[in-house]
């Protein structure tokens, strides 16, 4: 596969997914600018440079993005935290990324999350245009990021691929992740296709392998030409019965993220928002 002609900025490079991408993409010959608020914990891969930076500092983000044709935005808080903790890195940080992309006319790959939809029950199958139902402040920040990407596409023609990441893990640890699992190989191939596709506009892709138990249906993967090759199905027997004893965690797609700071004594009514579960069946061929 071809490699990008211009340098690629990777935020969140010191995190789990950032490190995976840094090593795998460098091995493909990509020229990478790595950044994180923490030092990069590994030896730098060939063709990569690292600079510490805070996503909340717009000038620093703009300087790092100068001359880049692609920004892989994996930085920020990646788990549920109080709103004030998430506010700066995830909201202002994403704004700074999109401002830099606008200045450089760069494409953005935005690491969104399945937690944008975590309050859907596990029996519901979702399409890309179903209403967002974040399961906490982290999911809310990713919903903001997706809307930010749409504003910058509509108003400034900044292209984005919004990857609603499931669970990028070497193997499946429990029953829920049979639905959300994204193998390392499928994940890296997805990012490659985000870079190589001719035109992407503002495209949504569910970040999951070819899992028969997936919570998710249609998305824009045909736009970028990505098809996952792996599946969680052959790991099902190994994790059978690996569930929690918490009814909230087990009811919703977001799992333990829903339970965090959950203060209701019951379940929210399923009909409180328009839901795919309450609509007539859709033609999956359309």
| Parallel, antiparallel or unpaired: strands 202-207 and 8-11 | unpaired
Instruction: For residue 161, give the 3-state DSSP assignment.
Output: strand
Two tokens, residue 99: 């401002």
Helices (H) and strands (E) in the chain, counts: 10, 9
Residue 182 near residue 114, CB atoms below 8 Å: no
Say if strands 160-165 and 202-207 run parallel, antiparallel, or are unpaired: parallel
138 is catalytic: yes
Nearest to 211 by CA among 253, 236, 235, 178: 178
Contact between 104 and 65 under an 8 Å Cβ cutoff? The reply is yes
Of residues 98, 138, 144, 252, which has the active-site annotation? 138
- Which runs of E-coded beta strand occur in 12-141? 32-36, 48-52, 70-73, 107-113
The answer to whether residues 16 and 36 touch, using CB atoms and an 8 Å cutoff, is no
User: Across 148-212, where does the E strand assignment appear?
Assistant: 160-165, 167-168, 181-182, 202-207
Core vs surface per residue 11-36: b (16+ CB within 10 A) or e: bbbbbebbbbbbbbbbeeebbbbbbb
| DSSP tag of 132 | P
Output DSSP code: residue 87. I
Catalytic machinery residues:
138
């Amino acid at each position: 596969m071809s490699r990008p002609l211009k340098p690629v900025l990777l935020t969140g490079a010191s995190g789990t997914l950032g490190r995976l991408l840094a090593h795998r993409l460098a091995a493909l010959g990509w020229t990478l600018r790595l950044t994180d608020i923490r030092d990069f914990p590994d030896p730098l891969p060939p063709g990569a440079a690292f600079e510490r930076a805070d996503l909340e500092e717009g000038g620093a983000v703009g300087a790092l993005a100068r001359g880049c044709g692609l920004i892989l935005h994996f930085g920020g808080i990646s788990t549920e935290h109080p709103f004030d903790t998430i506010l700066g890195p995830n909201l202002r940080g994403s704004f700074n990324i999109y401002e830099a992309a606008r200045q450089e006319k760069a494409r953005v790959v935005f690491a969104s999350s399945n937690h944008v939809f975590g309050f859907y029950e596990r029996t519901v199958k979702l399409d890309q245009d179903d209403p967002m139902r974040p399961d906490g402040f982290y999911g809310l920040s990713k919903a903001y990021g997706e809307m930010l990407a749409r504003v910058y596409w509509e108003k400034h023609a900044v292209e984005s691929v919004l990857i609603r990441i499931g669970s990028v893990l070497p193997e499946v640890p429990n029953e829920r992740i049979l639905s959300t699992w994204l193998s390392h190989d499928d994940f890296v191939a997805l990012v490659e296709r985000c870079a190589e596709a001719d035109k992407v506009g503002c495209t949504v892709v569910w970040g999951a392998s070819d899992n028969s138990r997936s919570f998710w249906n249609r998305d824009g993967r045909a736009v970028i030409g990505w098809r996952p090759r792996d599946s969680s199905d052959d790991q099902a027997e190994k994790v059978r019965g690996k569930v929690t004893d918490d009814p909230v965690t087990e009811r919703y797609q977001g799992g333990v993220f829903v339970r965090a700071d959950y203060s209701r004594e019951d379940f929210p009514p399923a009909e409180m928002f328009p839901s795919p579960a309450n609509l007539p069946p859709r033609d999956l061929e359309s």
